[in-house]
Every structure is written in C-alpha cells, then in structure tokens.
C-alpha cells in the first residue's frame, strides 16, 4: 500500500518534469519518423537504382547501420558532428540543449533510414512486375510509374511493418538520454537521483511509454483496416 502511495506521490510531485519528458520523447520520435520515412524511401530508391554506385552505397549503409548498436551510433553522431564541422548552436529551449536534441534526432534518423529502406524495398518488390510494365506500356515515365502506380500499391504491404517501426522508434528514443536530452528516460534518471527511489520513476515512465505506444498501435490498426477495405 505504501508503495502505491509513494508512486502516486512521486508522479504528482514531478508531474511537470514527466510531462516535459513525454513531450520531448514525442518530439524526437515524430521528427525521426518523418525524416526516416523521407530518407528511407530515397534510400530504397537508391538500393533499386540502375546506377551501381548508388546501389553499393545504399547496401553498405543499410548493412552497417543494421549491424551496429544504436547507442554507438548516437555517440558517433554526437561527437562526430562537431568534428565534421557541423556546429549547432547550444541554445537551451524548455530545459533542453538544442544542439543535443538535434544530434539525437539526426542519430535516430540515420538509424531508422536503414530499417525504413528495407521495409519500403521489400514492399515495392512485392508488387508484380506486370504493374510496372503495364504503366510503362501506357507511356508513363519510369518516375511516374514508381511514384503513382507502384508505390501507392506497395503502401498497403508496407504499412503494417512501418507501424512496427514507428513503435520501435519511440522505444529506441529512450537511448538518446545518454547524450543529455531531457526525454522520458532522462527524467526517470533525474527523479531517481532526487528522490532516492529507483523503482517508482521507472514504473511511471514505463506506463507513459506504454500509453503512447498502445495508443499509436490502436490508431495504426484502424488505418490498416480502412486501407484494406478501400482496396475494392
């Protein structure tokens, strides 16, 4: 009983920190999903390109990013960007250093691009070759064929796997706490340090993560159902 009351107590006491953490988790996740989707589709196009160098680059990129830990990638970007001369001004907004936030989003986007690329590529390749030929034979350009005929159909196959990837991103975003971004995991650490209670803050953020991911998975299921119905 006392554990439950301490749980409620801590939630109430640190509610603004926790809400702020949730906000940054969402900001990071949504940005990563958006950029990851754009770059992932481009990477998939490169991977299926006729030009050898593009194809080789995409292959090496995907294999390397899938074969190394996210944590390593986050540090590589965080320390690597300034070395490469990309200097992001350290403006602090809402308790979070912008340069760190941007490093975090960049690192996660680089990682997600590899996975989205594979999802998109397999989705596109699941579409019958006849669709491409049918479109080309009607005088469509290869670009139009890909973006207006093949990709919309592939989306139906891509969507469920992409939904999984979105949820994975939300969970993976907890790892950028290591470079000092005040998202949920970072807040849990902070609260633990202030309150000397290890369990409560972890349980609270676990619940918040779950509420976020579960809500999204419900929405995704709805959309999936709608997409299946609109097929005929």
Partner 1 sequence: MEKEINYTDNAPIMKIKNLSKSYHTLPVLKDISLDVQRGEVIAIIGPSGSGKSTLLRCMNALETISGGEIWFKDTCINRMKKLPKLRTEVGMVFQHFNLFPNMTVLKNIMYSPIKVRKEKKEDVEKRAIELLKTVGLEDKKDVYPDTLSGGQKQRVAIARALAMNPEILLFDEPTSALDPEMVGEVLSVMKNLAQTGMTMLVVTHEMGFAKEVADRVVFMDEGYILEEGKPQQIFEEAKNERVKAFLDKML
CB of 62 to partner 1, least distance (A): 27
Among 125, 141, 164, 215, binds partner 1 (CB under 8 A): 141
Cβ(150)–Cβ(132) below 8 Å: yes
CB of 225 to partner 1, least distance (A): 17
For partner 1, which is the closer residue by CB, 82 or 152? 152
Question: CA-to-CA distance for 75 and 55, rounded, in angstroms?
Answer: 27
Cβ(202)–Cβ(21) below 8 Å: no
HEC string of 27-41? HHHHHHHHHHHHHHH
Window of 60-68, 144-152, 165-173, 206-214 that interacts with partner 1 by CB under 8 A: 144-152
Window of 21-29, 32-40, 146-154, 184-192 that interacts with partner 1 by CB under 8 A: 146-154
Site mask for partner 1 (CB under 8 A), range 202-231, x = bound: -----------------------------x
Cβ(5)–Cβ(75) below 8 Å: no
Among 27, 149, 170, 179, binds partner 1 (CB under 8 A): 149
Residue 136 within binding range of partner 1, rule CB under 8 A: yes
Question: CA-to-CA distance for 232 and 145, rounded, in angstroms?
Answer: 21
φ/ψ of 87, rounded to 5, equals: -110, 115
Residue holding tokens 């200097």? 87
CB of 130 to partner 1, least distance (A): 4
Q: What is the DSSP letter of 93?
A: E
The residue among 117, 116, 112 whose CA lies nearest residue 48 is 117
Among 140, 146, 202, 203, binds partner 1 (CB under 8 A): 140
Q: Which residues bind partner 1 (CB under 8 A)?
A: 128, 130-131, 133-141, 144, 148-149, 152-153, 231-232
């Amino acid at each position: 009983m006392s554990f439950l009351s301490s749980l409620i107590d801590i939630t109430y006491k640190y509610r603004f920190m926790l809400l702020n953490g949730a906000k940054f988790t969402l900001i990071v996740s949504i940005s990563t999903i958006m950029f990851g989707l754009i770059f992932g589709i481009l990477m998939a196009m490169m991977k299926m390109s006729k030009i050898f160098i593009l194809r080789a680059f995409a292959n090496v990129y995907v294999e390397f990013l899938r074969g190394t830990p996210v944590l390593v990638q986050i540090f590589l970007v965080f320390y690597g960007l300034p070395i490469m001369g990309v200097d992001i001004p350290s403006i602090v907004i809402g308790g979070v250093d912008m340069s760190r936030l941007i490093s975090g989003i960049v690192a996660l986007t680089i990682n997600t691009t590899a996975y989205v690329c594979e999802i998109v590529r397999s989705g596109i390749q699941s579409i019958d070759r006849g669709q491409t030929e049918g479109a080309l034979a009607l005088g469509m350009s290869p670009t139009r064929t890909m973006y207006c005929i093949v990709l919309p159909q592939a989306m139906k196959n891509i969507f469920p796997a992409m939904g999984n990837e979105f949820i994975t991103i939300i969970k993976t975003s907890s790892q950028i706490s290591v470079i000092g971004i005040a998202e949920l995991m970072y807040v849990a650490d902070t609260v633990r340090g202030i309150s000397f209670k290890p369990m409560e803050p972890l349980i609270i953020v676990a619940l918040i993560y779950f509420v976020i991911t579960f809500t999204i998975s419900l929405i995704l299921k709805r959309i999936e159902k709608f997409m299946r119905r609109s097929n005929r």
